[in-house]
C-alpha cells in the first residue's frame, strides 16, 4: 500500500487507446513565445521520430517572429475546468517547408516538463520505460532522454490513428498511420519511416487515402502494422471488406468513419523519416462515431487519477 501511494499504480503502459470524436476536444495545445499564445491544437504533428521533431503549421508572416524568439514552447492544457497545465516542451526551430499559403515549421526540443503526475509517480514510470528501452528489441531509435520525455509530453494530446491506402500501378497497400496532422486549410502533412518499404510506394504514387478507424476496430488497425514492411499486399486476405473511394478510386475499409483523399505535393527527408506535404482533394464524412486515438500511458494515469478524485468528491 505504501508503495502504491508513493509511486502510484503499477500500470505502466506506454500507449493507451481512447475513443473520441475528431477533432479531439480534451486537450488544447498552444505555441508560446511570440506575444499572445497561438492555438495550434489542430495545426501540429510529429514530423520525425529520430531526431524527435515537431511540425507546426503557421502563417507566412510568423517567420520573423519565429526567428527572433528565444523562448518558444509548446504547452498542453486541459480544455475543461481550470485549464490546468499538463506539460510543456521548449522548442528550437530547425527548418520550414512551404504548404500552400502557410509554412510547416520544424522544431526540436530544447527542454520538457511533465505535470501530469506527482514527481515520484512520474520518475517510477521514467525508470520503467528506460529499462524497456535498454532491450535490443525496442531500441531501433536511439533517442536522448530529453527527446524521449518530450515525446511523452507530446502524446498528452490525443492522436488519431488512421488506415492509409496507397496504390502504385498494380501494387497497393493499407497500413496504420499516426504521425500526421493538418497544416492549415486544405493542406495536410504526414511522416513515414524512410526505411520501410511502403514509404517508397507512397513517394512514387503521390496519392493517398486516409480512413478514420472506429474504436471497435482498433485491434484490426494495429495488426496491420506489419504492412509497413511490404510494398504490396493481397487485398483478399484483409480481415474486413473494402469499398472504392470517391475521388481516387482507392480501396478503403467499409467501416471508415471518414475518408480523406490527398495528392502529395512535396517530400522532404527529415532524419529517420520522410515528411510528406499533401493537399486534400476530397474529405468525406461517412458515419458518426468514436474514432481510434492514442495517448501516452502517463497521461492516461492522470485521467484515471482525476476521475477517481471526482468520484470521491461526489460521494462526499
Listed residue (17, 95, 87) closest to 55, CA to CA: 95
Q: pLDDT tens string for the chain (316 positions)? A: 544 544 456 666 889 999 999 999 999 999 999 989 999 999 999 999 999 999 999 998 888 888 778 899 999 999 988 899 999 999 999 999 999 889 999 999 999 999 999 999 999 899 888 887 655 444 456 789 999 999 999 999 999 999 999 998 888 999 999 999 999 889 999 999 999 999 999 999 999 999 999 999 999 999 999 999 999 999 999 999 999 999 999 999 999 999 999 999 999 999 999 999 999 999 999 999 999 999 999 999 999 988 887 776 666 5
Q: What pLDDT shows up at residue 62?
A: 84
DSSP H or E segment with residue 29: strand 27-32
Model pTM score = 0.93
Q: What pLDDT shows up at residue 9?
A: 60
Q: What pLDDT shows up at residue 307?
A: 87
Cell numbers for 97: 517547408
What's the CATH number for 161-289? 2.30.110.10
Contact predicate 32/314, CB 8 Å: no
For residue 153, the cross-strand partners are none
Q: What pLDDT shows up at residue 6?
A: 44
Cell numbers for 182: 493538418
What's the CATH class of domain 2-158? mainly beta
Listed residue (138, 140, 115) closest to 128, CA to CA: 138
For every residue of 116-138, DSSP letters joined together read SS-HHHHHHHHHHHHHHHTSGGG
Q: What pLDDT shows up at residue 114?
A: 98
Report the alpha-carbon distance of residue 37 to residue 35 in Å, rounded: 6
Please, where in the chain does CATH 2.30.110.10 lie?
A: 161-289
Report the alpha-carbon distance of residue 191 to residue 200 in Å, rounded: 12
For residue 181, the cross-strand partners are 189
Report the alpha-carbon distance of residue 53 to residue 210 in Å, rounded: 22
Amino acid at each position: 500500500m505504501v508503495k502504491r501511494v508513493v509511486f502510484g499504480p503499477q500500470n505502466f503502459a506506454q500507449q493507451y487507446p481512447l475513443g473520441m470524436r475528431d477533432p479531439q476536444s480534451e486537450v488544447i495545445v498552444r505555441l508560446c513565445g511570440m506575444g499572445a499564445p497561438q492555438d495550434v491544437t489542430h495545426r501540429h504533428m510529429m514530423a520525425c521520430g529520430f531526431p524527435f521533431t515537431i511540425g507546426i503549421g503557421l502563417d507566412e508572416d510568423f517567420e520573423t517572429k519565429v526567428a527572433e524568439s528565444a523562448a518558444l514552447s509548446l504547452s498542453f492544457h486541459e480544455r475543461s475546468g481550470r485549464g490546468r497545465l499538463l506539460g510543456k516542451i521548449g522548442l528550437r526551430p530547425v527548418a520550414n517547408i512551404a504548404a500552400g499559403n502557410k509554412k510547416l515549421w520544424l522544431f526540436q526540443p530544447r527542454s520538457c516538463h511533465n505535470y501530469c503526475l506527482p514527481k515520484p509517480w512520474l520518475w517510477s514510470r521514467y525508470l520503467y520505460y528506460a529499462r524497456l528501452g535498454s532491450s535490443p528489441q525496442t531500441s531501433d531509435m536511439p533517442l536522448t532522454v530529453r527527446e524521449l520525455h518530450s515525446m511523452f509530453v507530446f502524446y498528452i494530446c490525443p492522436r488519431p490513428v488512421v488506415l492509409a491506402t496507397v496504390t502504385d500501378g498494380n501494387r497497393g497497400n493499407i497500413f496504420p498511420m499516426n504521425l500526421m496532422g493538418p497544416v492549415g486549410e486544405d493542406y495536410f502533412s504526414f511522416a513515414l519511416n524512410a526505411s520501410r518499404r511502403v514509404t517508397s510506394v507512397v513517394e512514387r504514387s503521390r496519392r493517398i487515402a486516409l480512413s478514420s478507424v472506429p474504436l471497435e476496430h482498433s485491434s484490426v488497425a494495429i495488426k496491420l502494422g506489419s504492412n509497413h514492411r511490404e510494398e504490396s499486399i493481397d487485398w483478399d486476405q484483409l480481415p474486413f471488406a473494402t469499398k472504392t473511394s470517391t475521388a481516387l478510386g482507392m480501396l478503403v475499409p467499409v467501416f471508415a468513419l471518414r475518408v480523406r483523399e490527398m495528392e502529395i505535393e512535396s517530400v522532404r527527408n527529415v532524419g529517420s523519416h520522410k515528411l510528406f506535404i499533401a493537399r486534400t482533394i476530397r474529405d468525406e464524412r461517412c458515419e458518426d462515431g468514436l474514432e481510434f486515438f492514442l495517448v501516452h500511458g502517463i497521461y492516461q494515469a492522470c485521467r484515471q487519477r482525476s476521475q477517481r478524485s471526482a468520484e470521491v468528491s461526489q460521494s462526499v
